[in-house]
Each structure stands twice: as structure tokens, then as C-alpha cells.
Amino acid sequence: MNSRDILFLAALSMFTFGVQISSFGQDSEFDSLRSALETISDHKSKFKSITDLAWAYSRSDPPRSLKYSEWARELAEQENDEDLLAHVNYYFGTAHKNLGNYQKALNHFATYHDFFLEKEDMQKICFVYYQTGIVKMQMGNYLGALDDFLNNLKLARELGLKGTEANTLSVIATVHSKMKNFNKAIAYNEEALAIFIELEDKNGQGQCIANNANYYSVLNNLDMADSMYREGLALFEETGDSYMLGHSYFNLGELQILKGNLGEGESFILKSISMRQDLGHQKDLAESYVGLGNLYVRKNEGQKALLQFQLAMGLAEAVSSLELEKKITGGLAKTYELLTDFQKSAQYYKALNTLSDSILNQEITQQISELNIRFETELKENQIQLLQKDQLITKRNQSLFAAAAFLFLMASLGIFILYKNRKRSIKKLEEKNGIISKMLEEKEFLIKEIHHRVKNNLQIISSLLQLQSRYVDEPLALAALTEGESRVRSMSIIHHHLYTESNLSQVNVPQYIDNLCSNLLASYNYKNLDISIEKDIDDIALDVSVMIPLGLIINELITNAFKYAFEGKDGGKIIVKIKEWEDKLQVSVRDNGIGFDHKSTKAGFGNRLIQTFLKKLEATSETLLGEGTEIQITLDKYKKELISRRTG
């Protein structure tokens, strides 16, 4: 992959983050992005970019996620890449799962599972167990879901995937709640919450808190449930998780209705409907309609209730959920009874009984399956215990002979072992020294890589600001973009020096000022004025914690000289000095321009930026007006390290 592809992918990652916030959803924008991605030459990099977008939209906009998945499959088929063809099934599965198309989701996940199981890629198998567990749970197959989640949890712990472990504990809690084991559900959720807090994952914390609120609501601790729902809602509003916001609004609405706060309950459920309509999740949206319908029944508003249940029924036809169908049927029976249409009410009550019998039979079947699993587990455990007893007897018979042989061996080899131990100790010491050296090299490489990536990201931001400025005509906005680009470039130069030099925390000041001045001359000397910059810099190196704020201050001072010092003149000179004197660092930026009123600039953003960084550096400044303007800055406290004098 060439450098242009890498730069494009970095910019795309920034764009992807932005579109999640701004709800990117227009087909013209999709087509534009598709045209842009066609410029990437490496098909695997292009595939990853497309599937990253598919994953980003899988919950917030599943139909768009399917569109990206189709595009990814087209690319995999064009390249005849069987790995990518198998991989794209994961994104199809997640999108169909969030649309409520459960059987399609399971089919895609099964294809993905079988392919990567043959490849022995256990991390991918771990993740797909989680997804199939979610689908089975939503279909009401709780035992099947629990089996998948336990497989996922085992692999997550073996692989050290803390985030996956926390998510799985939380969803196991949900399965137990579906099976009416609420105390177990709360315990699993609290275990997951502790991990999410450790990982600083606010969205995960919100899900655990919201789930426990559900369980406290069922246990009739309504005040505790209310408090926890609101706490979870605040976290989801902070993270912008539309999917969980829809659930939180709905659950809060149901709780308020239960507490008798009908107006507030209606408001929350309407918010959930609005959120879920945007997401396109049929089952969740149908549940919101049912909740609103039950509220209108309670308020004796039959026609309003009928409309909500009919909307829910239209969605439920595409969702395989007996529980949802039962809720809708019961709501319609009550609604027609309220509307005095007793014939239809009786029909729906009869249908409700049939559904209740079907659900009861399903629950009995599940209980029988659970008992069979428990029986088989106990049988296997008994067989293992018998085998262990047989092994214990055999080991006892062998122990006497083994003990005698061991004593003889120890006596014979004692002296030899002492000799070998000394050689081994020397070898281990050498190995440890080698490991330490290797770790130091890896640490240095990683730090350099961090500075390299920071520099690249800052350069991308600078390029984007420069690109944006080409489409801006308003002078103030153009000036703001130019100044912002200059500040970003100032920081980028510092990280470039840290990446290319052997010292990873010290910046060579003369080299940095040379690069900074060159960039500023190129950016601001656009009127072709005869402006030069002279530099008188001591050969010193400054710690990065000092150089970044000091570099931004110098950037602002030179920028101000370009902007204001030479109005009405054909050219001029800017002089930058950095000197060490009596354990102090003295910095001066002087021009021979027309001078300016320093007090008039105090309200500007650049001046406020300078004052903020002066305070951070515990530095003082003085403005001298004469033939031009000079700003003198003195630092009493600064980290320094002398560098080798340049020769030649």
C-alpha cells in the first residue's frame, strides 16, 4: 500500500468518526464515499474501511450497514478472496440481528463460524458465539443462548479479552432474568459493571445499570429502578448510543406508568418510538407501540390504543416472537372490549389463550431440555469421579517403587545437579539481560511509533484545514483556518523531531525553530514581501513538555508580526532569539515594522493562547515598543539538556 493510500485511510477514519455523530445518511454522500474509496489500491485495506463503516452503522442504522456489507461482498467476490467472503458474513449477521431478521442472522453467523473454526481462529469464534447467543436470546431460545454465552465467556477469559468478558457477563445476566432468576441476574451484572468501570467504558456501565434497573422493577423496588434507569439514561445520552437510548426511554416510560405518572410515561414512550423509528428495529419499535397502546387503554382512549396495536401487529408479522404476538393480541382484546366491540374482543381473547398454550408448551420443552442437560452433566461428572478413583488406586501401587527410585536417583545425581544449577543460573542471568535489552528496544520503538502516529495525525488535520480554507471566502473564517493550521503544524514539527532523533523526550531547539520559521514564511509571506527571519538560538534541547507550549507561543508571535508589523511597507525583518543566561531561558521575538498597540490585542484568541501557555510555563513577558515591536519572555524553571555542538 503506497503513502497516498495510508493518508487516505487515516482521513477516512476521522471521517467515519464524524459521520457517526452527524448521522451520515444521504445516498449522494454514500456514492461520493464509494468513489473516494475506489482510489485505494490495496483491496484488503479497502475491505477493512468498508466493513468498519458497516460495523459502525450496524446498531444505529442497520439498513445502511447492509448496504456497506453488500459492497464489501462485491469486493471480496471480485478479488476471489475466500477469507474476506467468509468474514463479511459477520457484518450481514449483525445488521440482520438488529433489524430483527433472526433466522437470516443465524445463517450468516453459522457460515462465519464454520469457516473460522476450520482455520482455528479462536478469537473470531469467541465473537461469533456472542452474536449467536444474542440472536437466540431474542428468539426466546434461552438455553441455546446460555450455551453460546458460556462458550464465549470461556474463550474470552482464555484470550484475555476483558471487554468481551464484561459484555458476556452482562448478557448472561439478561438470560437469567428471562428465566426469572433475578438474583443471579443482578449478581452477574454487578460483576460485569466492575469490569466496565475498570475499563472506563461508560456505555457498558450504562447497560449494566439499565439492566439491573429492569430487575429491580420486576422485584417491585420501583424507586431503586427509577433511580438506576435515569443514571443509565444519563450515560447513554453522554455516549450517544441511540439503540440503548431507545430502550432506556421505553423502560422509563413503562415504569412511570406503573407508578401512576401517566403523562411522563407517555412522553418517554413517544421518545422511544421516535428513536426506534430512526433505527428501523422492528421488534423494539413494536414493543414501544404496545406500551403506548396499553397506556391509552388505561386512559380509556380506545381509538388511540387501537392504532398503536395495529401498528405493532404490522411489524410483528415479520418478527418470529410468540411473546410479542401475545402482548399485541392481549392489548387488542382489551381495546375492543373498551370500544364495546365484544365479538372482536372475544376473538382476540380466544387467540390469546391459544398463544398462551403455545408459549407454555415452549417453556415446558425448554425446561425438559434443561433437565436433560443437567442429567447428562451429572452423569459425566460421576464417570469422571470413577475414573479418578481408579487412577488413584493405580498411583498408590506405583508410589512405593517410585519413591525408592527417586531417592536412589537423587543420591546418584546430587553432585551433578549442583554443577548444572550453577551453569543454569549463569545462563538464566544472560537470558534475562537479553530480555531486558529487547524490552528496552521495544519500548523505544513503541515510543517512536507513538510520536510518528501523532505527527501523521496532526499532519492530516493540517491538510484538512488547508483543504477547507480553499472553499472559504469570508476573510475572518479564512484567517481562523490559516492560524489553526499553523498551530497544528507547530505541534507536528515537534513530534517529527522526537520520531527521527535518538532522544525520545528532548527537542533540538535550533532545528525546531528553523523548521517552524520555514513553514511560517511559506504560509504568511503570500504577498511576496521582502520579509526575512533571522535566528540566534543557543544549541540546547528542551523537554517536550516545555517545547510544545513555548513553540506555540513563538508561532503566535511570529504570526502576529507577519499580520500586523509590515502594513504599508515593502518588507522587513523578524529576529528570533533563544538564549540561556544565569540559569534562565530568555526568548525574544522582534520586528522592525510599524509597531502596534499591545493593549489592543489582549482580547484576541491568539493573545489569550499566549497568556495561557505563559501561565503553564510559569514564565513572564514584556512588550517593548520602539523601532518595531519586541516581545521578551523569561522562563525561570525549564528542563534542559545540552546537545553536542555542531561541527563543520
Confidence (pLDDT) at 646: 37
Confidence (pLDDT) at 91: 94
Confidence (pLDDT) at 468: 66
Question: Is the distance from CB of 207 to CB of 244 less than 8 angstroms?
Answer: yes
Confidence (pLDDT) at 194: 93
Sheet order of strands, 584-591 included: 530-537, 571-581, 584-591, 628-635, 619-626
Confidence (pLDDT) at 26: 44
What distance in Å separates the CA atoms of residue 375 and residue 365, rounded to the nearest whole number?
15
Tell me which residues of the chain have a pLDDT lower than 70.
1-39, 319-320, 357-412, 414-416, 418-419, 425, 436-459, 462-471, 478-480, 483, 486, 495-504, 525-528, 596-603, 639-648
Question: Is the distance from CB of 205 to CB of 235 less than 8 angstroms?
Answer: yes
Indicate the pairing of strand 540-543 with strand 571-581.
unpaired
Confidence (pLDDT) at 507: 84
**Concatenated DSSP letters for 127-181?**
HHHHHHHHHHHHTT-HHHHHHHHHHHHHHHHHHT-HHHHHHHHHHHHHHHHHTT-
Helices 242-258 and 43-60: crossing angle, nearest 10°? 10
Confidence (pLDDT) at 441: 60
Confidence (pLDDT) at 174: 87
- Nearest of 163, 100, 101, 99 to residue 130 by alpha carbon: 163
Tell me the H-state helices in 80-121.
Answer: 82-99, 102-118
Confidence (pLDDT) at 165: 92
Question: Is the distance from CB of 290 to CB of 319 less than 8 angstroms?
Answer: no
